[in-house]
Amino acid sequence: MKRKILVISNGHGEDSIAVTLLENLKKVLREEELSEDDLQIIALPLVGEGLLYKNAGYSTLATWNNLPGHGFFSALNFLRDLRRGLLDNWRRQIRIIEQETPAVDLILTVGDIWPTLLASLYGQRKKIVHVATAISVYIRRYTLAEIWLFKKYVSCVICRDLPTCTELQKFNVNAFYAGNPMLDDPILRSTNTNLGLDKKCRRIVLIPSSRADAYGNILRMLNVVKHFTTKGSFQFVISLAPNLNLDRLRGALHKSDWTLLDLRHKKTPIAAELFNKDSAQVYVVHGYFRECLNEASLAIGMTGTGNEQIAGLGLPLLLLKGKSPAASRGRLRHYQKLLDGAVFAPRGSDEKIARAAHELLSNSKRLQSMADAGRARMGTAGGSYFIARKIWYYLYA
């Protein structure tokens, strides 16, 4: 019998998790000797253009202008988003959910409590499976109001870690944990590509974000890179997301003291080199996120989901404060609580931060402790298949 599922997600990282789960759900369908035509999937991303859904071949019900907060909540972001049309977005989202849900069999919500609240209030009492990617007891506990919402409206809450699952079960919430789906993102699959980098140098990878704020974040990171004193000992690699533009990066560097050498004509993973008279060369690799991380000693992160994925891979992570929502002081505190000893967020001048990173790299015991902490907090990969199995159960039950 044909089924229809509505997926509501609340951010770029959440869109990526949803797509990963949907791909695993298709695998479950095949195992159950059902055709993909037996399942209609429609997606409602609540933030941005939903490109990840579109690139994976899924229909999206709406797209939105990027608001300043990019799905990261804070009082300041909320006020900025209000001025840019947040209330109009909410009204449209509610109308779409009300129009679509009479014909759906299951609503899958991915993210924080907001998409689940919308589905609960306007989803015609359809079954809801909530993939709770944003909240963990490592950060905060669920409120009694949220627990009431789960018990009244949600068929199953998929937790991101076991302690959170155990906490919800104490309140008789139907909670489930099978691993962290962030670690099953296709971006983390190795392609066994040789990047052509010198393996004799210690690699430091710069992860600036996959959003438009990446270009400003790169400038922030380069200001720190300039203060690494030992040339030749370190190799800096910018992992530039495939959706970002090298020409736009060149424009962002125009007023800085960095020069970009375009190497795209060579058709290698290294798309460009950045030069500064006082610094080591910085390589720009377009894509190949996992390959950039494979032999790295340290990552410097100013991203969202990427920070958590890096920690889960067991790579020590230095967090930099910046102007982007994912790199605000509040978000840095968030990741320090969530990822515990896996992250290091030094304060002070760029020179002081570079010195702190240098000292960290000379402390092998601490680096190993950070790697262990990241793996412990993020859990194991492979959970997406079992989560997809759970979704299939509620879809066809």
Q: CA distances (Å), 388 to each of 112, 158, 217, in order?
A: 19, 10, 35
Mind listing the domains of the chain with CATH numbers? Answer: 3-179+382-396 (3.40.50.2000), 192-378 (3.40.50.2000)
Paired tokens of 23: 């791909």
Spans of the chain, pLDDT less than 50: none
Give the span between the Cα atoms of 22 and 57, in whole angstroms. 11
Residue 258 is predicted with a pLDDT of: 93
Q: What region does 379 belong to: left with phi over 0, alpha with psi -120 to 50, or beta? A: left
Taking the model in full, what pTM does it have? 0.90
Closest CA to 207 of 313, 120, 73: 313
d(CA 69, CA 208) in angstroms, rounded, equals 17
C-alpha triplet 17, 22, 23: angle, nearest 5°? 100
277: left (phi over 0), alpha (psi -120 to 50) or beta: alpha
Percentage of residues in the chain having pLDDT higher than 70: 94
Is the separation of the CB atoms in 204 and 315 below 8 Å?
Answer: no
Predicted pLDDT at 83 = 62
Is residue 300 helix, strand or coil? strand
Structure-token pair, residue 335: 């990741």
Give helix 329-339 / helix 305-312 axis angle, nearest 10°.
30
The tokens of 127 are what?
Answer: 């079954």
Q: What is the dihedral of CA 3, 19, 322, 308, to 10 degrees?
A: 110
Q: For residues 134 and 13, is the Cβ–Cβ distance under 8 A? A: no
Report pLDDT for 200: 84
Asked if residues 12 and 71 have their Cβ atoms less than 8 Å apart, the reply is yes
CA distance 101 to 26: 21
pLDDT at 63: 76
The pLDDT tens digits of the residues spanning 62-117 come to 876 666 665 565 666 667 677 666 788 889 999 999 999 999 999 999 999 999 99
Grouping H, G, I as helix, E, B as strand and the rest as coil, residue 328 is: coil
Six-digit token string for 144: 């009694």
> How far apart are alpha carbons 131 and 138 in whole angstroms?
17
